[in-house]
Amino acid sequence: MTSAPPEPGGCQAGGCYSGLVCFRGRVEASGPSPVHNESLACAKHLGSMVLTLTAWVHEQRLTDAKITVLAIDPAAHPGVAADGFAFITWHVTG
């Protein structure tokens, strides 16, 4: 499976594309200073979002981070749709 590169004004900037499932990716890392990051993507850009979050974990040199991808309601505004159905979580180690 390949993913399309983000487009100008795409998911992160303006919400999900009409009719496509939306996803929220969350990074959480514990430690002395907990770290959090998140991103939004439509189904078309899910793969790109996962790769971007994983790269960010490595760039930050986080030794034990957890990435969770949630399916969220595409009708809800991304800022409001904070929760969703978590359908995959994995650990990224340095």
**CATH no. for residue 66?**
3.30.1710
Residue 28 located in a structural domain: yes
Residue 5 located in a structural domain: no
This prediction has a pTM of 0.73
Residue 10 located in a structural domain: no
Q: Which residues pair with 75 in a beta bridge?
A: none
In the chain, the N- to C-terminal Cα span, in Å, equals 25
Find the domain containing 53 and state its range.
20-93
pLDDT digits (tens, 9 = 90+) for 32-43: 778 889 888 888
Residue 88 located in a structural domain: yes
pLDDT digits (tens, 9 = 90+) for 44-70: 888 999 999 999 999 988 888 999 999
Residue 13 located in a structural domain: no
pLDDT of residue 26: 92
Do 53 and 12 form a contact (C-beta atoms < 8 A)?
no
Residue 2 located in a structural domain: no
Domains of the chain: total: 1
Q: How confident is the model at residue 15 (pLDDT cuts 50, 70, 90)?
A: low
What is the DSSP code (8-state) at residue 16? Answer: P
